[in-house]
């Protein structure tokens, strides 16, 4: 008799009247909101303006969803294009099936487009949202719990996941790999936040740390899974992907630290708050308010006029102070 286990929901859909609320979709949406919320806080702390992260996410999220679905369909094409399967199911994203590798790759393309439109360096943006992405993954993995998918090998551990029988799965107790990955992603988020504060990571290195740390966990978690997957030299395809991406992320961190040490001083051209200049937030606010008269705030907001504002404040020029007051 099994004394303890994690039960699976009897259904992945809750109907609110005529509206179906799918657990998988809800977890994805909640994860996106958390990522944008945390990314916005980190972006402001880096010297950016509120709302920028959300504006760029409008580009990144749709690209990420398309990329995640494409990766899944391409790597598991037999689920949709084999004999007896319905290719239309490839578009049913609410039934599960998003590859994180494709989601991050295509999401980066969308973020790049959004950053170019705002004149923002993509590496700085990536550093700001990296922990939020990890938390979004942690939340999104619970969508697999709703769908009773992506579990591991059979086990009798107290935290085993109980799976009910269906056409595509056998009833039993299995390793809850969705839970392992969810907890791992939470740890990755805290690791990146700590390392970023401790070492002042910049130029994409915080994002690279997130990628490397996630891949390290995904490798052993993927190895435990029993769902159908393609194998290369005895290893699952996603294990190889995790190894390759891990190496690339580590190489990027090492090379970037040598070529571009330190952190970006300005992350957003229109931002008034200086970044990592040794000044406190109060100093930044005083500098932004420097000058006198009604035109002073406009001058402080324009980096090109910074020198003029400084001259006004210090009384440079015989008539500069009087002109500013007028």
Distances (CA, A) of 295 to 47, 105, 176, 289, 324: 23, 45, 61, 10, 7
Q: Where are the alpha helices (DSSP H) in the chain?
A: 23-45, 52-75, 78-81, 100-118, 122-140, 142-147, 177-199, 205-224, 237-259, 281-288, 296-301, 306-313, 320-325
How do residues 104-135 score in pLDDT, each as one tens digit? 999 999 999 999 999 999 999 999 999 999 99
How do residues 3-21 score in pLDDT, each as one tens digit? 678 999 988 887 777 888 8
Distances (CA, A) of 13 to 23, 137, 148: 6, 20, 12
Q: Which two tokens stand for residue 64?
A: 């990420």
Report if pTM > 0.75.
yes
Judged against a pLDDT cut of 70, whether residue 310 lies above it is answered with no
Contacts of 285 (CB under 8 A, 6+ apart): none
How do residues 188-223 score in pLDDT, each as one tens digit? 999 999 999 999 999 999 999 999 999 999 999 998
Contact assessment for residue 132 and residue 40, using Cβ atoms and an 8 Å cutoff: no
Mean pLDDT for the chain overall? 84
Percent of the chain exceeding pLDDT 90 equals 62
User: Rounded distance, CA 297 to CA 108, Å?
Assistant: 35
How do residues 266-279 score in pLDDT, each as one tens digit? 999 875 555 544 44
Across 236-246, average pLDDT: 95
Across 237-242, average pLDDT: 94
Tally helices (H) and strands (E) across the chain.
Answer: 13, 6
Distances (CA, A) of 81 to 75, 77, 87, 271: 12, 6, 5, 50
Give the best-scoring range by mean pLDDT among 51-65, 77-91, 307-321. 51-65
According to DSSP, the residues that pair with 19 across neighbouring strands are: 16
Residue identified by tokens 């392992």 is 180
pLDDT at 31: 97
């Amino acid at each position: 008799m099994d004394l303890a286990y994690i039960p699976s929901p009897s259904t992945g859909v809750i109907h609110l009247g005529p509206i179906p609320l799918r657990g998988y979709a809800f977890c994805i949406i909640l994860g996106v909101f958390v990522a944008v919320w945390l990314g916005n806080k980190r972006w402001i702390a880096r010297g950016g303006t509120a709302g920028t992260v959300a504006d760029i996410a409008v580009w990144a999220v749709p690209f990420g969803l398309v990329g995640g679905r494409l990766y899944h369909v391409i790597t598991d094409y037999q689920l949709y294009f084999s004999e007896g399967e319905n290719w239309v199911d490839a578009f049913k994203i609410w039934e599960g099936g998003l590859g994180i590798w494709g989601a991050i790759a295509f999401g980066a393309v969308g973020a790049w487009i959004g950053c170019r439109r705002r004149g923002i360096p993509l590496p700085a943006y990536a550093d700001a949202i990296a922990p939020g992405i990890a938390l979004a993954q942690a939340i999104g993995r619970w969508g697999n719990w709703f769908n009773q998918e992506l579990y591991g090998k059979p086990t009798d551990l107290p935290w085993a996941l109980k799976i009910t029988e269906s056409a595509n799965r056998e009833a039993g107790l299995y390793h809850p790999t969705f839970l392992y990955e969810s907890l791992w992603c939470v740890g990755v988020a805290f690791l990146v936040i700590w390392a970023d504060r401790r070492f002042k990571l910049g130029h994409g290195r915080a994002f690279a740390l997130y990628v490397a740390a996630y891949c390290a966990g995904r490798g052993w978690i993927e190895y435990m899974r029993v769902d159908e997957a393609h194998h290369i030299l005895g290893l699952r395809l996603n294990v190889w992907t995790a190894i390759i991406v891990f190496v690339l992320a580590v190489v990027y961190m090492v090379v970037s630290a040598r070529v571009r040490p330190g952190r970006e001083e300005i992350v957003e051209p229109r931002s008034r708050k200086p970044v990592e200049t040794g000044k406190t937030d109060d100093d930044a606010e005083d500098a932004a308010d420097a000058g006198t008269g009604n035109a002073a705030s406009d001058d402080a907001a324009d980096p090109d006029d910074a020198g003029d504002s400084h001259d006004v404040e210090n009384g440079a020029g015989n008539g500069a102070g009087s002109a500013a007051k007028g």
